[in-house]
Structure 1
């Protein structure tokens, strides 16, 4: 049951980011996006580290409460990397530009004569003459004379307003077995190929995809809220509401294509929702494909529970609950 999809992710509306490089050369970035397991601490630290040329472990990520972080719209709609991540990249580059002016002052040259390599500004034509970002940060807080019109410290703030949404895409192929005696559905294989642009941290991206595919299995085969005739919810707790576990998930087979987003500072796109958008129809398509020739089944309402699959096989599909 193949399923292709194109999604629009990374809801716009601006997010702020503050970045401070301490005299020690370690950095702290503050954002409003709150993590619930997506790996913000790793991804955003990696962005700062890559832009400034410092170790990721030297970057502290402070996030969440807008009483102590820049204002932002939060974590939803796969907007963390498209919006907050972009803000982190932009503020990192702003700090790097400030470091260039300070380095020019330190090295008694003009900023135009400096070139960047990972972690340091150096004089063009004389690579031995340069300053590491740690040295620049120490100088910035030392009370030494700063460039005209510039305050001390090595920090910056930005409000990033994305010019457009991001457009990830993917293709999902699912193979299922349907037991003709019990109508139970087992997902035997799941192949997912996603294009979420530049992958800042491939392991975290794969984790997001694994989670989304597992959610898709729950949506397609298990999860439903039922009510009695008086409107009372019959499965209002996880004691009664069925969700997938590792036992119901196959070893997911992942592939990728990479098409950088043209308007994102890093070329990244949202990925958190792609797999749970594309996977449920792939699973349902596979169930129908398994039953079409033998039982003439053309449609089953999600979730494809054994009761619903059995009813469809008997030619009496149940109405949606």
Structure 2
């Protein structure tokens, strides 16, 4: 069993979906699971729906949902003939979406967030699965919420490994599946999410539970680079990295791989390949348990729109452990992504 993960940019329009099918054909292997993100930028749009829902701006909420529907409809028009059932499915899906928004009165932001934003992966995978079946790449659409079980820590769910392993091991490993990244479900079958960019983590959960031969993340870059190509003209590609080196890069801001992805892979020594869906014949970067003495000695990471917060006490005294604990408690409660530099007295 091989696990492939494709991000939103790989399916952001109908041309990219057709390209994805070519990548799959080049890497022909019937026993695989493909984990997909939502269609490019769709998660951002769904987050706006959530925000408008909570400020009770009904007009903007429904306009945004209608625009998301139109974008998906435009995509499937270029992939399917008119009588394909996918048109009815998309319409039904968005009708249910509207019904949910009208029905739900919950004031729990994180819960509503997961139910709405998590829907992006459900619809993208359905479209891709049906298109691949249409062109002869027979696959089965798999709702990962039936397999990845979590607690109810919405927006930052924790995997119930015992339940998840038991369910995933029932999957027939001789078949080809399309499933969702980013989401799971709690014991009440409510959708939960793993946080932004959590699709990588989903792929590694499947890899771990199925003892996968390998995991490949397909990106719009040729592999892991020592500098962001959007900001640096001169950059070099790492041919190989250890799990530890990759974890360090991701922690400090390299967006190529989600930090949580690596632990399940490292535990079972499953190799991770970072490859380009634009140039699928290139090898990319191999991440494994082997330490390689790389020629590349420096990395450059750009992080924009950062906010620096300095803490100090009004009384002339030092920060104690209880002060730090209180600060991190609030950061955790509000699920704020926080990079600890140092505490100032």
TM-score range, shorter chain: under 0.3
The structure having more radius of gyration, on CA atoms, is 1
More strand by share: 1
RCO greater where, 1 or 2, for CA within 8 Å and sep 6 or more? 1
Q: TM-score, normalised by structure 1?
A: 0.22
More helix by share: 2
Q: TM-score, normalised by structure 2?
A: 0.21
